[in-house]
Amino acid sequence: MQKIVYGYCIPWWRSSSLTKTLLVMKLTFLFLTAACLNVYANGVSQTITLSGKNVELTKVFTAIKKQTGYVVFYNHSDLNGTSPVTLSVYDMPLRSFLDIMLKNQPLAYNIEDKTIMLYRRAVPEEKALDSKQVTDIIANIIKGKVTNAQGEPLQNVSVIVIGSQSGTTTNNEGQFTLTTPDNKDIILEFSSVGYQTKRVKVGKQTEVNVVLELEVAGLSDVVVTALGVQRSAKSLVYANQIVKGSELTDIKNDNLMNSLNGKVAGVTISPSASGVGGSAKVILRGSKNAFGTNQPLYVIDGVPISNSSNANGQPNSTFAGGPDGGDGISNLNPDDIESISVLQGASGSALYGSQAANGVILITTKKGKIGTAKINFSSSYTNNTISYKPKFQNKYGVTPNGNQSWGAALTTPEENDNLSVFYQHGQNISNSVNFSSGSALAQTYFSYANTTASGVEPTNKLVRNNFTFREIGHFLNNKLTVDANTNYIQQKVDNTPSMGLFFNPLTGLYLFPVGNDITQYKDQYSIPQPERNGLLTQNWIANEDLQQNPWWILHKNPNYSTRNRLILNASVKYDFASWFNLQVRGNIDRVSDTWERDLYSGTNPVNVIGRNGAFTRSDLTRTQKYGDVIASLKIPFKSPFKLEGLLGASNTDVITNGTSIDQGLGLIIPNIFIAQNVATSVTSNVSNSSTHSQIQSAFGSLNLSYNDWLFLNITGRNDWSSNLAFTSNISYFYPSTGLSIILNQVLKLPTFISFAKVRGSYAEVATSVPQYITNPLSYLAAGGSVNFNLVEPNPKLKPTNTKSTEIGADLRFFDNKLSFNFSWYKSNTYNQFIQYTPAASTGFKVGYLNAGNIQNKGIELLLAYDLVKSEQLSWNTALNYSSNQNVIIELNPNAPDAQILLTTPNPNAYGSALQKGGSWGDIIGVKFERNESGQIELNSGGQPINNNKFVKVGNPNPIWQMGWNNTFNYKKITLSFLIDGKFGGHVMSMTQMLMDSYGTSKVSGDARDNGGVKVNAVDPNGNTVSTIDALKWYSTVGGRSGIGEVYMYSATAVRIRQATLGYNFPIMNNLIKSIRLSLIGSNLLYLSKKAPYDPEITMSTGNGMSGVDVFSQPTTRNIGAQLNISF
Amino acid sequence: MKKTTFTSNRLERVNTSFKSTFFIVTITLLFGCTKKFESFNTDPTGITKDQLKIDFNNIGLYYPGIQQNIFSNYGMYQLIQNLNADNYCGYYQSADPFRGNINNQNYFLVSGWNDYIYAVAYGDVMGPVRKIESEGTRTEAPDYWAIALILQVQAMSRVTDYYGPIPYSKVGLDNATPYDAQKDVYDLFFKQLDTAVSNLEAYIATFPGSKPFAKYDMIYAGNYTQWLKYANSLRLRLAMRIVNIDPNTAKTQALLALNNPAGLIETNTDNAGISGFGYQNPIWYVGTVWVDLACNASLITYLTGYNDPRLSKYCYPAGKMAPAPPGYEGKYLGIRAGTPVGAKPMYNGYSFPNFDIIQQYSPIVTMNAAEVWFLKAEAALRGWTTGNAQDDYETGINTSMAQWGVSAGNYLNDNTSTQADYVDPLTPTAGVPNASISAVSTITIKWDPAATKEQNLERIITQKWIAMWPSGGYEAWAEYRRTGYPRLFPVVVNNSGGTISTDLQIRRIEYPSTEYTNNPTGVAGGVSLLGGPDKGGTPVWWDTNKGRANPVNF
């Protein structure tokens, strides 16, 4: 097995690791295909229903032919010594039937095509049968009905005979019928989503009626934990919150992570303000790392996947980010997801190693279910509109000789709404279908989904197609399980809006002079130039770097991105014994991205060289390969102790290869956007990028339980990281341990407490340094020169280490109606990888060191209550709360006051930094110079003076957040809504800053109405000044490099996040199992919002640019309908 | 880091750490697997030292970057020269109301801007020169080392003239670099030029006509004789700078330069202009793409007052980048330093540099022949040489006229024209002070042998100032501070909060804030060597006139 995983290092595999891995995948697929064929040979119509006493075999053969079309060949003499049979079978698979019927006969069989060949087999003497003895082969027919606690029939409940290949599902009336091979020791297992799985031992009875209890999360659940290991929820030593797939699909979002917003405690989700297909920033329990990602690891069915952006990455400049590059998680089809489990803490994720230091989001995908054949179709449509508008003044016109709005009062206030001239209704249309079926031997799942969306900014479009095929096969008496999953994703996004000042249509739109008519610029955004024989150039009122004609940008600065992604997963597991199994898994996640931007001649020369336009393009392929081998042990001591454990090794290998074409010296012939048309100087305008990193790991886990009420968990993992090559130690180890106690099983608790668990854990997770840091090289630079390595040497780099402690309790009251979960955690991240700027006078430009301590501390609460639970009406309400406090205790000890910049502030107003004593992601800006009594100091010209340095003016992270979810069911109607709020934190609006300085904002108009801005200021002579002219004030405090402290706003926002109203139609026929139509809405209403924009959205899902608005597209309000049909 | 190292580490861990015994089996399996880690962690798009050794690129390829970073790229040029020295010397004033008109240009020294002066000088010039040195260049390729020293002196002389004491002799040796007194920095400059000159002389003598540096040379196409002239001219420039504080050294060094047989930059073909390697002229970029600079009223009033034939070559008339203020279409109109300019495009209609002449890839000049002639004129005026100051002065003007392709005409004989008054048609407006001002200079063009040395020095420096446009602002500001000439309009608005006198004008730039966080002891030493507060009003070592109304240069 090791050969497969570590094949890279073994001679016979030395040629190319990729082809080898592909080979493994291929073999696995061959295996699976075989399994499928086998299933279908065994399938649908090849079942036997037969009963009778003392039936001759020949008669049985006739019946077989009649019922299945299979012909039985045999030599008459072979029937000597056989005996008649007594039968009672119902809908029994042919093979099972033959197995049973021939069990005590001297015959064996072979099936080829549609022929059953019988032949004689040796029967031991003592077992030879008396020919007169009638073999009593009774395959029981078991019938029954499954209901819920209220006595309502449950459909689609899976019923399996444990240890056999029989299984079925209940019909609309909750009834089932199945045949069992034997009536001895039969155990039936009933399972259905949302209900506790129940096993029933069947004796002689032929009718089994079962009542399934509603599932209460965390009680008897089996949850998927790290590495895909299933464990009982009550044994978990850490917090773990599960979101069902349906919560992702009730209202489909073009990035499924946004569907989790407000639903999970300890998770902060910030959608990117980048139109359709944008990424989402997901932070679990606060940001921990000064450098590198702070986002969690995404794991599908136990195997990590990539969440990478395209080569364009994430913006990190208030000038011109360039568009958001999207992320990996948004590519998935939410309909394929069975559930998502969020492991906020390090101990839950310790086994995933380095990549999981920021927590893990475990995604379990759907698979075919035994005994079912189901088709689900879902179609949804939403209409999206901007959910707020900046506030404009309409009274004061254009400045003389200028293009700002500081001119004289208009005779009649302007009534045009430029925003409605620009924004359109966006749409999101999503259609998906999935087919799933399964026998006891193999389960199949296939799905296809199409998402087509258009943004509120014209020309912004997304089309995504997802194909999924999953097959699970069981072999060798269920000892060998092969599971393979293929995902193919194809996505195209056009005209992702740029954020920041450049290439952004919103700057021109929002700064357009009041009183002028913008429609002329919409109708004619370009004009021909006679001196260039009609070549079009843009038509706009202003010629300055930070604005262009908005429609010119839409049509003449287009960008396109495409993604083709293939995710292949395969796992093979063999149960050597009931207490020992070995599993080998492999995964390839290959993402190919292209990104292109065409800038037509006539585009503002900022960032465009030459007068003929520019072409830029990048292609990037990222291949992540993961393989692991895990041996699992389960030792049921004949004592109250139980021991489970695993030992494994894994290899994660990530390779990226990219090519990018920069604009060189611009285009040769205007507006031909191909690489051949790019003018270049001495050097090529084509550049390659390439990365390779590998982490090899060995890990183990031990779970010891006592009497099912005391659970001890210990894990350990050792990583060898290629990113640490060239340092003295490439290897690092980190452990975790935890304990949970089920109190209600040991203590006598009041009866209203139905469940009580306390838990505590401690974990360490180490993270390697970034790629290539330990081996700094020089690079070719533009024009044929070289950017030499000017890194201050430090050979002692080592991994970052996060140490976290967590304690918590899970409680249920009143027959589980009320549940309460609580967690407190504290994590400290030491040995931060810090990229610092050495003193300029050293002559070095950059240095790296490990130091620092960033602490996150917080609590999480979950409260759920079934307020009403009756046959007609039910009302469930759930509340989640979390708070996080982040403190930077220590950073670079050599320069304790130095800021580590996440976003460089100069020359604009917004910056983001880490600084000792502050919190992660502090917004830095300039402040007023004030005297001792707090008055703003003015200069001799009457302008406020600033403090000339960038200091903390706020922190955008919420102090606490809350989500409140309610679901009502009344007969066939379901109503649910989610209200959530993020409280505390402050954000900056550069949009407001610029609108104020241009005089287009309502604030600037009101100030003029009021004769100036009311201030508490003091002039250089010590005289108090209470009013400052509006233009003087806003031209000083506003503008792109304005005074940050003026433009900080509370980030508190409370909103109705989503609501659905659904109706389940009565079933009309047998073909259709259910029809549900829902009205859906998301981001419906702000109950409170203090900032001039939605403070939740972010301009980047990287570390920088959080808590600032630089002409970001407003959040949309989405209203629509969804239809679900299942067959 | 060979395999053996890993093995021993691995075994050590296994042996010493009980926790790892847990993994012993797997470790055995992994054995040898990490040997490719070094190749994984080597960026294939990077260039290793060994790869660079071919063709001596490990030394040579540093030079294009160093040469470009004398003025750096557009954004950095704006921060290291255009929004400070170029403004303080009366060449430029931005038409952009940066930071609400509270910025460097009106004496509110923006720390976030000025930090880049160090970042570029040390990170992009001195750092690479240290690397060149560490490759053994000093002894292995003394000719290359000579060029490195010339470029370093060129770049760092600007820095010390901006600040006074700077880190120089010990750069790259420690995390906390001590500051050198400015006198010591100048002494070292002269010594480094000594080395450069003798290395080049030796090389030229041994390999006459050989041009091994040609492919990296953005200034002289590998001609070492030209580099020798540049070194001599630079020495003359630096020597003259310290004439008031250390006249003996000044004279010694000046004569050393003037007597070097290779000569100085004396014709326009010798001008040290940087171009090539795709380097865009940063003045062109900042002026045309960002429309962020315009001509200063001081420059325009001298040129219009003198009826200077270079004016139309230097600048566009008003109304080229945006509509001119009423009545000024086609006329030349500058913006006075420290004017609170209205929001764009209000002042975009004033005169801008002539971007038909300063184009995207035009060389940007660090030193030209005209400047050298004016330096020679001053040397003659001081009696250091037997040369005739008037001849040198007139050659200087003619050389400059030739550089711009115009004829001097009667210019040299004009003994009446003086600087024009300045009228700003857009001020005063509500709340903005009147920027209009009468001429501050009465100096005429024609050489007057009867005039005092002080008057003729004013003539020389004023003409040198005109001749060093458009890129010599750093030198022009230093010479303005040394000599008090040309007489420049004071700032309209002074936002220094009393740390810089409007009349005496700004004397230096404050140390970067990054030094206070990253090199606090070093910068504290610098301030103490400076001998005054770290403010814009404190004069540097050679600044003996300190901005007084009647400068004393003799």
DSSP structure string for A40-67: HHT-TT-EEEEEEEEE-HHHHHHHHHHH
pTM comes to 0.84
Rounded to a whole number of angstroms, the distance from the CA of B74 to the nearest CA of chain A is: 12
| pLDDT (mean) for A881-901 | 91
pLDDT at B4 over 50: no
Report d(CA B212, CA A900) in Å as an integer.
43
pLDDT at A83 over 60: yes
Contacts 24+ apart (CB under 8 A), A970-975: A970/A872, A970/A873, A971/A872, A972/A1063, A972/A1064, A972/A1065, A972/A1066, A973/A1061, A973/A1062, A973/A1063, A973/A1064, A974/A1060, A974/A1061, A974/A1062, A974/A1063, A974/A1064, A974/A1078, A975/A1059, A975/A1060, A975/A1061, A975/A1062
Banded pLDDT at B252 (limits 50, 70, 90) = very high
Q: What is the pLDDT of residue A1067?
A: 78
Subunit contact A1029:B101, Cβ cutoff 8 A: no
Cβ atoms of A601 and A537 within 8 Å: the answer is yes
Residue B348: its chain A contacts at CB < 8 A?
A: 543
Rounded to a whole number of angstroms, the distance from the CA of A707 to the nearest CA of chain B is: 27
pLDDT in tens, A660-687: 998 888 999 999 999 999 988 766 788 8
Subunit contact B45:A729, Cβ cutoff 8 A: no
Q: What is the pLDDT of residue B137?
A: 94
pLDDT at B285 over 80: yes
pLDDT at A165 over 70: no
Cβ atoms of A1073 and A1126 within 8 Å: the answer is yes
Q: What is the pLDDT of residue A1000?
A: 96
pLDDT at B236 over 60: yes
Residue A459's CB is within 10 A of a number of other CB atoms, namely 18
Subunit contact A606:B290, Cβ cutoff 8 A: yes
**In 3-state terms, what secondary structure has residue A772?**
coil
Q: What is the pLDDT of residue A682?
A: 66
Q: What is the pLDDT of residue B200?
A: 97
Residue A481: φ, ψ to 5°: -120, 130
Rounded to a whole number of angstroms, the distance from the CA of B246 to the nearest CA of chain A is: 27
Residue A647: its chain B contacts at CB < 8 A?
A: 26
pLDDT at A472 over 70: yes
* A&B contacts, CB < 8 Å: 300
Of A54-68, A472-486, B326-340, B409-423, the poorest mean pLDDT is in: A54-68
Query: Which 8-state DSSP code applies to residue B24?
Result: H
| pLDDT (mean) for A859-880 | 90
Report d(CA A341, CA A244) in Å as an integer.
8
Rounded to a whole number of angstroms, the distance from the CA of A593 to the nearest CA of chain B is: 20
pLDDT at A927 over 50: yes
pLDDT in tens, A807-857: 999 999 988 889 999 999 999 999 999 888 888 888 888 889 899 999 999
Of A464-473, A627-636, B180-189, the poorest mean pLDDT is in: A627-636
A557 vs A167, which has greater pLDDT?
A557
Of B99, B278, B345, the CB nearest to A682: B278
Q: What is the pLDDT of residue A220?
A: 54
Percent of chain A scoring above 70 in pLDDT: 91
pLDDT in tens, A179-202: 766 556 677 888 876 677 788 877
pLDDT at B3 over 80: no
Q: Is A1068 on the interface with B (CB under 8 A)?
A: no
HSE-up of B414 (CA within 13 Å, CB side)? Answer: 20
pLDDT at A154 over 80: yes
Residue B169: its chain A contacts at CB < 8 A?
A: none
Side-by-side strand order, sheet with A911-914: A900-903, A911-914, A922-925, A951-954
pLDDT at A805 over 90: yes
pLDDT at B395 over 60: yes
pLDDT at B358 over 90: yes
> Angle between the B224-241 and B369-381 helix axes, to the nearest 10 degrees?
40
| pLDDT (mean) for A865-881 | 89
Subunit contact A1029:B97, Cβ cutoff 8 A: no
pLDDT in tens, A1055-1087: 999 999 999 988 767 788 889 999 999 999 999
Q: Is A796 on the interface with B (CB under 8 A)?
A: no
pLDDT at A552 over 90: yes
Q: What is the pLDDT of residue A184?
A: 64
Subunit contact A725:B98, Cβ cutoff 8 A: no
pLDDT at A566 over 90: yes
pLDDT at A1049 over 90: yes
pLDDT at B278 over 70: yes
Banded pLDDT at A140 (limits 50, 70, 90) = low
Mutate to test the interface with A, among B4, B40, B173 (most CBs of A within 10 A): B40
pLDDT at A91 over 80: no
Q: What is the pLDDT of residue A238?
A: 83
Of B47, B111, B493, the CB nearest to A777: B47
pLDDT in tens, A748-779: 888 899 889 999 999 999 888 988 999 999 88
Of A1-10, A730-739, A1050-1059, B194-203, the poorest mean pLDDT is in: A1-10
pLDDT at B477 over 80: yes
pLDDT at A35 over 60: no
Of B46, B171, B346, the CB nearest to A777: B46
Q: What are the DSSP E strand ranges found in A668-817?
A: 686-706, 710-721, 731-742, 753-767, 779-780, 786-787, 791-792, 800-813
pLDDT at A946 over 50: yes
pLDDT in tens, B489-547: 999 999 998 999 999 999 999 999 989 988 999 999 999 999 999 999 999 999 999 99
| pLDDT (mean) for B14-21 | 38
pLDDT in tens, B130-153: 999 999 999 999 999 999 999 999
Subunit contact B17:A777, Cβ cutoff 8 A: no
Query: Which 8-state DSSP code applies to residue A1113?
Result: P
Task: Residue B508: name the closest of B516, B519, B499 by CA.
Answer: B499
Q: Which domains does chain B have, with CATH numbers?
A: 10-287+358-530 (1.25.40.390)
Helix (H) or strand (E) holding A445: strand A442-454
Task: Residue B96: name the closest of B355, B348, B338 by CA.
Answer: B348
If you measure CA to CA, which chain B residue comes closest to A4?
Answer: B29
Subunit contact B108:A948, Cβ cutoff 8 A: yes
pLDDT at A27 over 60: no
Residue B9: its chain A contacts at CB < 8 A?
A: 728-731
Of A402, A696, A729, the CB nearest to B342: A402
| pLDDT (mean) for A48-67 | 80
HSE-up of A990 (CA within 13 Å, CB side)? Answer: 31
Q: Is A626 on the interface with B (CB under 8 A)?
A: no
Question: Cβ neighbours of residue A1021 under 8 Å, at least 6 residues apart?
Answer: none
pLDDT at A63 over 70: yes
pLDDT in tens, B493-508: 999 989 999 999 999 9
Report chain A's mean pLDDT, rounded to a whole number: 85
pLDDT at A341 over 80: yes
Of B62, B121, B345, the CB nearest to A403: B345
Q: What is the pLDDT of residue B6?
A: 36
pLDDT in tens, A285-322: 888 888 888 899 998 888 888 888 777 778 888 887 57
Rounded to a whole number of angstroms, the distance from the CA of B482 to the nearest CA of chain A is: 26
Of B40, B131, B348, the CB nearest to A693: B40
pLDDT at A132 over 80: no
Query: Could you identify the residue written with the tokens 């072999």?
Result: A475
Subunit contact B517:A895, Cβ cutoff 8 A: yes
Q: What is the pLDDT of residue A183?
A: 57
pLDDT at A444 over 80: yes
Subunit contact B167:A841, Cβ cutoff 8 A: yes
Of A543, A731, A843, the CB nearest to B130: A843
